[in-house]
Amino acid sequence: MIPTDNDIQNFMFAETETANFEVEPNRSGSEGTDYILKTKKGNIHNLYLCSINLDIERDIKIPKHKLGDLKDDLSVALVVILQETPTILYLIPSTIFETPDNRIFFENEIPAMPNLSNWQIKVFTNAIKELSQYEIQNIKDKL
């Protein structure tokens, strides 16, 4: 069964609640921000929610105009789905795209059509270990 957008949103809410974060939809309409995450320390982070179903695809492209400016308080909340394995939520700082590694994180600039320019995240077997540093349970104390 392919998860719906509602399933992905509910998973993100459940994972952030387990990590003792408060999350609410962004009502201000700020570019690149779907949700506002508040930590117990009072820190506020903006989240851009997206998902990848590894049974179907191996990468996700985030339009640059949707993510907006890369900022320290903006993270990509990436839900990774793979049948027969636990679903995982990663909170990837948007600033990772300032110097993409061209292995997992990529910048695809299309000067002739800027609206098609995007940030890309590739997920493959060896990338999972590297991405684990951004898994919500591993990053929650750093936020």
The full set of domain ranges for the chain reads 5-142
How far is CA 74 from each of CA 2, 97, 124, rounded to the nearest angstrom?
27, 11, 24
In this predicted structure, the answer to whether residue 103 has a pLDDT above a threshold of 80 is: yes
In this predicted structure, the answer to whether residue 30 has a pLDDT above a threshold of 90 is: no
Is CATH 3.40.50.12780 correct for 5-142? no
pLDDT digits (tens, 9 = 90+) for 56-100: 999 999 999 999 899 999 999 999 999 999 999 999 999 999 999
Type of residue at 126: N
CA-based nearest residue to 89, from 14, 1, 6, 4: 14
Q: In the predicted model, what is the mean pLDDT of residues 87-114?
A: 97
pLDDT range class, residue 31, cuts 50, 70, 90: confident
Write down the mean pLDDT value for the chain. 95
Report the distance separating Cα 14 and Cα 8, nearest Å: 10
